[in-house]
Chain A
Amino acid sequence: MAGQERRTIDLEEGWAFMQKGITKLKNILEGKPEPQFSSEDYMMLYTTIYNMCTQKPPHDYSQQLYDKYRESFEEYITSMVLPSLREKHDEFMLRELVQRWSNHKVMIYQEIKGQVKDAVIALIDKEREGEQIDRGLLKNVLDIFVEIGLGQMECYENDFEDFLLKDTTEYYSVKAQSWILEDSCPDYMIKAEECLKREKERVGHYLHISSEQKLLEKVQNELLAQYATPLLEKEHSGCSALLRDDKVEDLSRMYRLFSKISRGLEPISNMFKTHVTNEGTALVKQAEDSASNKKPEKKDIVGMQEQVFVWKIIELHDKYVAYVTECFQGHTLFHKALKEAFEVFCNKGVSGSSSAELLATFCDNILKKGCSEKLSDEAIEDALEKVVRMLAYISDKDLFAEFYRKKLARRLLFDKSANDEHERSILTKLKQQCGGQFTSKMEGMVTDLTVARDHQTKFEEFVAGHPELNPGIDLAVTVLTTGFWPSYKTFDINLPAEMVKCVEVFKEFYQTRTKHRKLTWIYSLGTCNINAKFDAKPIELIVTTYQAALLLLFNGSDRLSYSEIVTQLNLSDDDVVRLLHSLSCAKYKILNKEPASRSISPNDVFEFNSKFTDRMRRIKVPLPPVDEKKKVVEDVDKDRRYAIDASIVRIMKSRKVMGHQQLVAECVEQLSRMFKPDFKAIKKRIEDLITRDYLERDKDNANTYKYLA
Chain B
Amino acid sequence: MRRASKKSLSSAATASAGPTKAVSKEVERIDQFFYTYADNSSVMIDPEGIETLCSHLEVPHTDVRILMLAWKMGCEKQGYFTLDEWRAGLKALRADSISKLKKAFPELVQEVTRPSNFQDFYIYAFRYCLTEDKKKCIEIPVACELLNLVLGLQFRPQVDKLSNYLKYQNDYKVINMDQWMGFMRFCNEINFPSLDNYDSDLAWPLILDNFVEWLRENKS
Q: If the complex has contacts A702-B203, A703-B202, are A691 and B176 also in contact, measured as CB distance less than 8 A?
A: yes
Q: Say yes or no: B206 contacts A684, CB within 8 Å.
A: yes
For B206, list chain A residues within 8 Å (CB): 680, 683-684, 687
The 8 closest A-B pairs by CB, nearest first: A660-B203, A703-B203, A683-B206, A690-B178, A691-B176, A684-B206, A703-B202, A702-B185
Q: Say yes or no: A660 contacts B202, CB within 8 Å.
A: yes
Residues 164-199 of chain B, each 1 if its beta carbon lies under 8 Å from chain A, else 0: 000000000000101101100100000000000000
Report the nearest B residue to A682, measured CB to CB: B206
Instruction: State the CA gap A684–B181 with chains docked (Å).
Output: 16
Q: Does B136 contact A (CB under 8 A)?
A: yes
Q: How many residues of A contact B (CB 8 A)?
A: 16
For A661, list chain B residues within 8 Å (CB): 201-202
| A658 nearest CB across to chain B (Å) | 11
Interface residues of A in 360-375 (CB under 8 A from B): none
Q: Bin the interface of chain B by size.
A: 10 to 19
Q: Does B205 contact A (CB under 8 A)?
A: yes
Q: Does B209 contact A (CB under 8 A)?
A: yes
Residues 297-320 of chain A, each 1 if its beta carbon lies under 8 Å from chain B, else 0: 000000000000000000000000
Instruction: State the CA gap A680–B205 with chains docked (Å).
Output: 10
Instruction: State the CA gap A687–B205 with chains docked (Å).
Output: 7
Q: Does A697 contact B (CB under 8 A)?
A: yes
Residues 648-687 of chain A, each 1 if its beta carbon lies under 8 Å from chain B, else 0: 0000000000001100100000000000000110011011
Instruction: State the CA gap A690–B209 with chains docked (Å).
Output: 17
Instruction: State the CA gap A686–B209 with chains docked (Å).
Output: 14
Interface residues of A in 487-531 (CB under 8 A from B): none
Q: If the complex has contacts A683-B206, A691-B136, are A697 and B178 also in contact, measured as CB distance less than 8 A?
A: yes
A-B CB contact pairs (8 Å), 17 listed: A664-B201, A679-B201, A683-B206, A683-B209, A687-B176, A687-B178, A687-B179, A687-B205, A690-B176, A690-B178, A691-B136, A691-B176, A697-B181, A702-B181, A702-B185, A703-B202, A705-B203
| A617 nearest CB across to chain B (Å) | 56
| A678 nearest CB across to chain B (Å) | 11
Q: If the complex has contacts A661-B201, A661-B202, A702-B203, are A691 and B178 also in contact, measured as CB distance less than 8 A?
A: yes
Instruction: State the CA gap A660–B199 with chains docked (Å).
Output: 12
Residues 689-705 of chain A, each 1 if its beta carbon lies under 8 Å from chain B, else 0: 01100000100001111
For B200, list chain A residues within 8 Å (CB): 679
Instruction: State the CA gap A660–B206 with chains docked (Å).
Output: 13
Instruction: State the CA gap A705–B205 with chains docked (Å).
Output: 13
Q: Say yes or no: A697 contacts B136, CB within 8 Å.
A: no
| A637 nearest CB across to chain B (Å) | 15
| A666 nearest CB across to chain B (Å) | 14
Instruction: State the CA gap A661–B201 with chains docked (Å).
Output: 7
Report the nearest B residue to A659, measured CB to CB: B203
| B18 nearest CB across to chain A (Å) | 38
Report the nearest A residue to B206, measured CB to CB: A683
Instruction: State the CA gap A289–B209 with chains docked (Å).
Output: 35
For A680, list chain B residues within 8 Å (CB): 206, 209
Report the nearest B residue to A693, measured CB to CB: B136
For A660, list chain B residues within 8 Å (CB): 202-203
